[in-house]
Amino acid sequence: MSSAPIIEARELHTYYDASHILHGVDFSVRAGEAVGLMGRNGMGKTTLIRTLVGHVPPRRGELKINGQVMTHAAPHLIARQGIAYVPEGRGVFPNLTVKENLLMAACPRPDQQCEWNFERVLEIFPRLAERLAHGGQQLSGGEQQMLAIGRALMTNPILLILDEATEGLAPLVAREIWQIIKSVRDSGIAAIIVDKNFAALSALTDRNVILVKGRVVFEGSGEELKAKPELLHQHLGI
Amino acid sequence: MFYLIQLLNAVQYGLLLFLLASGLTLIFGIMGVINLAHGSFYMVGAYLAYWLAKLTGSLWLAIPIGIVIAFAIGLLLETAIFSRLYKRDHLYQVLLTFGLILIFEELRSILFGDEVHGVAIPALLDYSIPLTDTLSYPVYRLFVTAVCLGVAGLLYFVIHKTRIGMMIRAGTSNREMAASLGVNIPLLFALVFAVGMALAAFAGTIAAPISSVFPGMGNQILIICFVVVVIGGIGSINGAMIASLAIGCADTIGKVIAAEYSAIAVYLVMALILLWRPQGIANKA
């Protein structure tokens, strides 16, 4: 593996048609690092993620992945660099069974062995193993989230991006998802995590970034952030 | 016996429609492209059968060569033209593909003239099975039915049992998500498009000995194909299968019961099915 950061973005300016969403965002993730992405709704978190995975190419700025310039690369090429994306709303394919949702994503990366295969994913998600023949639309919210994470792991990623993974889940189910995220982290996979639960999030992340109106206003550890309650209050409503 | 013959005809016509409609529904479902030129490929297939059979002296050679040519034209059209229109409004797609219909018709007129041509049934299958003293059934129609069933089975297998089929279905429901899992969507689209074109042309080649080869044959069948796609449920192969057979039966039964009103039967069935399921047979509202 190269020593270059997995993601290194500089001066990203992203637009939706005429509206200017990201105003020169610098963002990076190193191998094995967990970054929390915070901010109120509409501040550009999801747009930043969609820019990083190639769904909304930036109008200006540069995006390097594993040291290669991929500013305008197609999403599947970015995915094949080991970037796995679990979007808000989970993106489970409703017309595929649970098993098919997992198998369609299995993608052996040429430079390493497939650590994450069907059997291993089912080991950490025993609930999915019971529902392999079910359609994606028949699952509960928590199960859909497990499927979306399991499917992302099937691609054998080096970076997992989770956008609002616990949103809309009952507290017990959300805790289960946090457990899973923690075990994924322990296996050495880097992560970008967007979540409203500051306490749970900052317990897992090495570094946190707060976005306000498409600009980075804070970057630092959870401890540093806790030391600035006015920032938490102003930008996260805590 | 008379009814057995009608039933066989209905199934044969329905399965032929399925070959056409399956490609149309996949292209519409996965790429969101309205391809009015789909029927033109049916015509292209029929004329290729006519031309290649004359050239090589054998329909058996004409069919595979015709499929390969149609696949290549499909691939070329997709990469050169269609891929630029995926993000445009449906109106642009309708205009473009309507233009393609005119181009294909003009080319046909220049290359083959405006007469009706016949294609000989291969000698191997050119006989009929006697059913009663006066009624018999042509073996070639049975052959067409069997081949269509085979292709439908193959299609079902690919779509439902293989990884590429999973990717196609995933792409139909959520293109972006599929891409983010490493699926090369542009390549997948080009392949699906070309396969759809090849299927339409294949339907044209094997139908040529039955229906003969004539100007405007693509447009006639295109409308029926859209009926099948709409009542089957857009993007659904299984729905297209059921709808094709329903339309095949409606058309045939309509012709038997009241020949002068038979054109209405198909649309009557469409109206009834859409009243029952506005999203089509396969898609629940």
Domains of chain A, CATH where assigned:
7-236 (3.40.50.300)
Band of residue A110 on the pLDDT scale cut at 50, 70, 90:
low
**In terms of residue numbers, what domain contains B122?**
2-276
The reply to whether B186 touches chain A by the CB within 8 Å rule is: yes
| Whole-number pLDDT of residue B176 | 93
- Angstrom distance (rounded) from CA A223 to CA A199: 11
Number of cross-chain residue pairs from A and B with Cβ atoms under 8 Å apart: 70
Mean pLDDT confidence for B80-107: 91
- Do residues A92 and A148 make contact, with C-beta atoms less than 8 angstroms apart? yes
State chain B's mean pLDDT as an integer. Answer: 90
For chain B, percent of residues with pLDDT exceeding 90:
63
- Please say if the pLDDT value at position B148 is more than 80: yes
- Please say if the pLDDT value at position A197 is more than 50: yes
- Please say if the pLDDT value at position B23 is more than 80: yes
* Chain A residues in contact with chain B using a Cβ-Cβ cutoff of 8 Å: 53-55, 74-76, 78-80, 84-85, 87, 91, 93-96, 100-101, 103-107, 151-152, 155
CATH number of B37's domain: 1.10.3470
Partner-chain residue, chosen from B173, B178, B183, that has the shortest CB–CB distance to A94: B173
Q: How close, in Å, is residue A104 to chain B by CA atoms?
A: 6
- B285 part of a folded domain: no
Tokens of B128: 């009929």
Mean pLDDT confidence for A213-227: 92
Answer whether A94 sits within 8 Å of B181, measured CB to CB: no
Tokens of A141: 């919210």
Of A74-78, A81-85, A180-184, B256-260, which range is least confident? B256-260
Mean pLDDT confidence for B91-120: 92
Q: How close, in Å, is residue A216 to chain B by CA atoms?
A: 25
| ipTM computed for the complex | 0.91
| Whole-number pLDDT of residue A172 | 93
Answer whether B170 sits within 8 Å of A104, measured CB to CB: yes
Calculate the alpha carbon distances from B19 to A64, A194, B24, B191, B222 in Å.
Answer: 45, 46, 9, 16, 12
Partner-chain residue, chosen from A53, A76, A101, that has the shortest CB–CB distance to B184: A76
Answer whether B170 sits within 8 Å of A55, measured CB to CB: no
Residue type, A80: R
Query: What is chain B's length?
Result: 285
User: DSSP label at A42?
Assistant: T
Burial call B126-137: b when 16+ CB within 10 Å, e when fewer: eeeeeeeeeeeb
Residue type, B210: I
| Whole-number pLDDT of residue A116 | 85
- Please say if the pLDDT value at position A2 is more than 50: no
State chain A's mean pLDDT as an integer. Answer: 92
In a mutational test of the A interface, the residue from B83, B172, B180 whose CB has the highest number of chain A CBs within 10 Å is B180
Partner-chain residue, chosen from A75, A95, A104, that has the shortest CB–CB distance to B176: A75
- Please say if the pLDDT value at position B147 is more than 70: yes
| Whole-number pLDDT of residue A86 | 97
- Do residues B204 and B48 make contact, with C-beta atoms less than 8 angstroms apart? yes
* Number of domains within chain B: 1
- B283 part of a folded domain: no
Which chain B residue shows the shortest CA-CA distance from A150? B181
- Please say if the pLDDT value at position B126 is more than 70: yes
Answer whether A96 sits within 8 Å of B166, measured CB to CB: yes
Partner-chain residue, chosen from A80, A87, A107, that has the shortest CB–CB distance to B177: A87
| Whole-number pLDDT of residue A161 | 97
Band of residue B78 on the pLDDT scale cut at 50, 70, 90:
very high
Band of residue A215 on the pLDDT scale cut at 50, 70, 90:
very high
| Whole-number pLDDT of residue B281 | 86
Band of residue A238 on the pLDDT scale cut at 50, 70, 90:
confident
3-state secondary structure of A51: helix
Q: How close, in Å, is residue A200 to chain B by CA atoms?
A: 27
- B144 part of a folded domain: yes
Residue type, A189: I
Strands (E), chain A: 7-16, 19-29, 34-38, 60-65, 68-69, 83-86, 159-163, 190-194, 207-212, 215-220
Q: How close, in Å, is residue B183 to chain A by CA atoms?
A: 6
The reply to whether B177 touches chain A by the CB within 8 Å rule is: yes
Q: How close, in Å, is residue B117 to chain A by CA atoms?
A: 44
Mean pLDDT confidence for A75-98: 94
Mean pLDDT confidence for A194-206: 92
Answer whether B163 sits within 8 Å of A104, measured CB to CB: yes
Band of residue B193 on the pLDDT scale cut at 50, 70, 90:
very high
- Please say if the pLDDT value at position A26 is more than 90: yes
Task: For residue A151, list chain B residues with Cβ-Cβ distance below 8 A.
Answer: 181
- Angstrom distance (rounded) from CA B217 to CA A23: 56
The reply to whether B166 touches chain A by the CB within 8 Å rule is: yes
| Whole-number pLDDT of residue B284 | 62
Calculate the alpha carbon distances from A71 to A3, B176, B262 in Å.
Answer: 20, 17, 58
Task: For residue B183, list chain A residues with Cβ-Cβ distance below 8 A.
Answer: 76, 104
Considering Cα of A128, then A129, then A132, then A134, what sign does the dihedral take?
A: negative
Partner-chain residue, chosen from B167, B185, B186, that has the shortest CB–CB distance to A104: B167
Answer whether B183 sits within 8 Å of A76, measured CB to CB: yes
- Please say if the pLDDT value at position A1 is more than 60: no
User: DSSP label at A16?
Assistant: E
| Whole-number pLDDT of residue B61 | 92
| Whole-number pLDDT of residue B162 | 93
- B184 part of a folded domain: yes
- Do residues A238 and A198 make contact, with C-beta atoms less than 8 angstroms apart? yes
- Do residues B178 and B167 make contact, with C-beta atoms less than 8 angstroms apart? yes
- Angstrom distance (rounded) from CA B244 to CA B151: 14
